[in-house]
Structure 1
Amino acid sequence: MPSILDSAGLRSTAFICLGLVFCQSAGAGEPEISGYASHLRRSVYLDGAGQQRYTIEDRMRHYKVPGVSVAIVEGCKLTEVRGFGHATPGGRPVGPDTLFQAGSVSKVVAAAGALRLVEDGLLLLDEDSSLHLDGWVPPRTEAFDHAQVTLRHLLTHSAGLTVAGFKGYPIGAELPTVTQILDGMPPANTGRVQIEAKPGTRWRYSGGGFMVVQAMMEKVSGKSFQNLMREQILLPVGMMHSAYGPLNDGPAAQTAAQGTLADGSPIPGGWLQYPEFAAAGLWSTPGDLSRFAIELVHSIRGEEGALLKRDSAREMMRRQIGDWGLGLEVSPDGQPRKFSHTGAPIGYRTLWLMFPDTCQGATIMTNADEGMALAYEVARGIADQYRWPDPMTSDRVAYVETTPDDSNLFIGTYQLRDFPSERFQVEARPGGGLTWSRLGRGHKELVASSRDQLLSPDSGMRLVALERADGTRIVETLDLRFPGGSNIARRVDP
């Protein structure tokens, strides 16, 4: 794999630390940090309690997040890149060059790479993807025997394909090839990628679909995905610290933040490996990902020398199905224009967002499973300081007293409809009340905002009862509502 520190061939427009307001790690004797870092706010606050403000250090302790890195874009300029906390347990501080796993934000960068190949005439958005897959065709039932999956379907998560996400592999483990990942064959640790819904009819998030995109890109370019993306996207944008692929033991590994599990313990070996490059394999920094976001805005505006042609960029941002463009999420009609994505590989969380009309945005990366709620709290502080088009208002909610009998009706294990591998538990808390957790880790408080709705004060996630079992009134189906979307969850108690 090419060194991710190789900066040869960077565009002259690449930003460097000297041009930033801040480009360092927070610590004693350094300039006073921006106001957002002492004015974080949660997504909701309880009626009567008032809206509290927090420091980033307070919330890092609350969520057991060792390190955070923040990049802020104002007027298409990278105005601040700053680290907080530690990249390694009690050791190396987070700085502007600290690498984090970007997780599913990898898909946005990969989508831009695919659109570069469309512009070069090597791919078409609306042709049958099997033409570029060396004979590999997604398995399907007879009902979808003649269904064609296109690049547009794949980039908008509307191909009807399975495998929502990936589990990662320990350092030193044998890694599967792209074909093994698609076929679900050892050493791949996920199932085969197959069609389970008619392409183009509904949104179903599929990391497996982006592995099909990766296979197509390698086939038509004749290059490895890592080298192709380095040439087509990373170097032209000036993402000098970023690369797809495992870090191995090179110099870049010495700058990487080590991941942290929900209970606060470090990942053995520091991190997991994701050979599913297009879907989840990017290592990056907030500064690099914000440079990429700025370049997309330049492309939307049709500026000379931009990464993508104007028509390609505008098609990327157009709502295609639900609130999704080509590889990224876009704001619903009637709201300020925004494009965004999140990343959640094991041990890391990333929030990446941009308002193209004002060219304002931020990238927030953390090295902890519990980092997403913190990332949104940081974003709300930035929204207040920089007056973003969307103020990311915190909701005021009323707390409703419930009896233990009411609360117990929610207790159980639930599975997400659109992410079948994802399960969570609602459990009784010692001393009263309820908590929710993923895989039994990171128990978070739930309060009742009505007799049919539970609320997480930290994340703002709502669990709304949709169906109850006849006779017992036990909750069978929930509408799980969270910042940026919702999903149906069904009870799957053992």
Structure 2
Amino acid sequence: MRTPFLLLTGLFACFSVYGQTTSSLPEKIRQVETHLLPILIVEGDTASQFSLEARMKHYKVPGVSLAVIRNGKIEWAKGYGFADQEANRRVDTTTLFQASSISKPIAALAALHWVEAGKFALDSNINNYLKDWQVPDSPLTATEKVTLRRLMTNTAGLTVHGFAGYPKGKSVPTLIQILNGETPANSRAIQLDTIPGKVNRNPGGGYVVLQKAMIDQVGKPFPEIMQETVLAKLGMTRSTYEQPLPAKLDSMAATAYTSYGTPVNGSWYTYPEMAAAGLWSTPSDLARYVINVQQSLQGKSNKVISKPMAKQMLTKHLGSMGLGPALRNTGDSLIFSQSGGNQGFRCLFMAHATKGDGVVIMTNADSGLELAQELLNSVSAAYKWDFSTPKRMKKANLSTAQVEQVLGNYRRDRYIFEVTQTDGKLYAKPRWEEESREMIPEDKAQFIMRDGQRAEFIYDSNSKVTAVKLFGNVIFTKMSK
């Protein structure tokens, strides 16, 4: 069950090489570890390359684990730093991390399996598959319905972007309580607020509905469905959707840390929204998912879905979403990916659909996504892959009045997005996270944060800012002072 590993001293806790090695592999690994590149390079910045160890200290990320896929196999996997600093427990390739939103495309893979098994139709009303809870009918559903396809492509029109999790010792709601926004749920009710199929956005609420539909149709607890449908079939022996994490696995799990380097209350949070955020896994196990998708598309594997279904899965819908993963490029250059963040965990994967290459990166800190993106730049450069390169831009000079327009607080549900100014620079501080990020203006409406996220400020007819658009299409309304 455990992946073989070689225990190292210092920063490195584990290093595994899979398959046949080449003489260039040690050099590639050295390049990955020593040539991290920034996410954003603004004209006038000094271009720098960093070591992984230095950037872990800079971002206060205790632990990192990654796996690199080449030619359809895991070429190498390695752990760095600490799973738990206080216990002096280091990361190795078997350390469990919360996979956050990477839970979604793997849950979608299971749903597609059950489509082929006849439990669902992709384009039928999802209410046909829900028993003791239904998406309420309204004028919004008069001509268009919430469907499984729309749930997986983020176009169902449902609310609730993400979930805050539940610290140890706090009551955990049932799935029905989450759907209805009832105590002790800490999120609002999952409701329809736009016509299905018209808008692409990333509501985790859609995957809670998917989770409920799978439970109702398959007739088993969700972790059991996922274990039998995907995890066991793909050899993902270090993965589970069980929430809370079973006590027997506590010693194998990474502790979650804030962006200030302090452990979160109770080591990690519980996420009963399992399909949206509940997977615990390792980069090597997630790499097995990636490889299976690649092989299914090539017709080399039907362990979970067939080649025709894999083609549907990796076909672009509104917003360049596939049935689960995000998509980029076309043809032989097609890339599928997903990133995510739970309290104290950040992770991502990116892979070529047809070339058999990919990378999975997992961290145990709120500031880990910035590090993971820099590491992705480094892997891309070392392997000469087109996954990621630093974005270069020229900073616009805004007037005092234009700056004052964007300053303030913006709200969506319980989430608040704050824009402040310090020493002549603008900073974004999402209050559901702890770190502030510098915002660089391209013009008065378009901004890029240092972590690569975009923010688009929306003006009314009087040239007053009324809202900001984040995460693609999620609107936060400006609050009155």
TM-score by length of 1: 0.87
Structure 2 match to 1:409: 405
Indicate if the aligned counterparts of 1:25 and 1:83 stay in contact, CA closer than 8 A: no
1:441 aligned residue (424, 427, 434): 434
Alignment of 1:65-464 (within 5 A): 65-90=61-86, 91-144=88-141, 147-248=144-245, 250-332=247-329, 336-388=333-385, 390-400=386-396, 407-415=403-411, 420-429=413-422, 431-439=423-431, 441-450=434-443, 453-456=446-449, 458-464=450-456
| CA shift digits 1:121-175 (9 cap, x unpaired) | 1222122222221142112434435753221121112111122211111113222
Counterpart of 2:478, as a letter, is R
C-alpha RMSD over aligned residues: 2.7
Indicate if the aligned counterparts of 2:33 and 2:51 stay in contact, CA closer than 8 A: yes
Indicate if the aligned counterparts of 1:435 and 1:446 stay in contact, CA closer than 8 A: yes
What CA distance in whole angstroms lies between the structure 2 residues aligned with 1:134 and 1:463? 39
Q: 1:176 to 1:80 in 2, by over 3 A?
A: same
Q: 1:216 to 1:28 in 2, by over 3 A?
A: closer
What CA distance in whole angstroms lies between the structure 2 residues aligned with 1:68 and 1:275? 25
- Give aligned pairs, total: 467
Structure 2 residue 17 is matched with structure 1 residue 52? no
Structure 2 match to 1:3: none
Alignment of 1:8-23 (within 5 A): 16-17=3-4
SS of residue in 2 equivalent to 1:158: coil
Indicate if the aligned counterparts of 1:26 and 1:84 stay in contact, CA closer than 8 A: no
SS of residue in 2 equivalent to 1:322: helix
Indicate if the aligned counterparts of 2:409 and 2:418 stay in contact, CA closer than 8 A: yes
| CA shift digits 1:363-408 (9 cap, x unpaired) | 11111111111111100100001111x2523233234556656533
Structure 1 match to 2:20: none
Indicate if the aligned counterparts of 2:297 and 2:310 stay in contact, CA closer than 8 A: yes
Q: 1:476 to 1:194 in 2, by over 3 A?
A: closer
| CA shift digits 1:70-124 (9 cap, x unpaired) | 1111111101111111111342111101111111111111111111111211222
Structure 2 match to 1:4: none
Alignment of 1:31-46 (within 5 A): 33-46=29-42
What CA distance in whole angstroms lies between the structure 1 residues aligned with 2:12 and 2:117? 51
> 1:226 offset after TM fit, Å?
0.8
What CA distance in whole angstroms lies between the structure 1 residues aligned with 2:355 and 2:271? 35
Q: 1:463 to 1:128 in 2, by over 3 A?
A: closer
Counterpart of 1:283, as a letter, is W
Could you tell which deviates more after superposition, 115-124 or 459-468?
A: 459-468
SS of residue in 2 equivalent to 1:223: coil
Q: 1:463 to 1:138 in 2, by over 3 A?
A: closer
What CA distance in whole angstroms lies between the structure 1 residues aligned with 2:458 and 2:205? 30
Counterpart of 1:461, as a letter, is Q
SS of residue in 1 equivalent to 2:312: helix
SS of residue in 2 equivalent to 1:34: helix
Q: 1:149 to 1:479 in 2, by over 3 A?
A: closer
SS of residue in 2 equivalent to 1:314: helix
> 1:475 offset after TM fit, Å?
3.8
Counterpart of 1:460, as a letter, is G
Counterpart of 1:385, as a letter, is A
Q: Which runs of 5+ in 1 are unaligned?
A: 1-6, 8-14
> 1:448 offset after TM fit, Å?
4.5
Structure 1 match to 2:19: none
SS of residue in 1 equivalent to 2:313: helix
Indicate if the aligned counterparts of 1:24 and 1:83 stay in contact, CA closer than 8 A: no
Indicate if the aligned counterparts of 2:417 and 2:476 stay in contact, CA closer than 8 A: no
> 1:291 offset after TM fit, Å?
0.9
What CA distance in whole angstroms lies between the structure 1 residues aligned with 2:284 and 2:407? 42
> 1:425 offset after TM fit, Å?
1.1
Could you tell which deviates more after superposition, 319-328 or 287-296?
A: 319-328
Q: 1:48 to 1:188 in 2, by over 3 A?
A: closer
What CA distance in whole angstroms lies between the structure 1 residues aligned with 2:14 and 2:266? 32
What CA distance in whole angstroms lies between the structure 2 residues aligned with 1:486 and 1:282? 25
> 1:55 offset after TM fit, Å?
1.0
> 1:214 offset after TM fit, Å?
1.4
Q: 1:62 to 1:304 in 2, by over 3 A?
A: closer
Q: Which runs of 5+ in 2 are unaligned?
A: 16-25
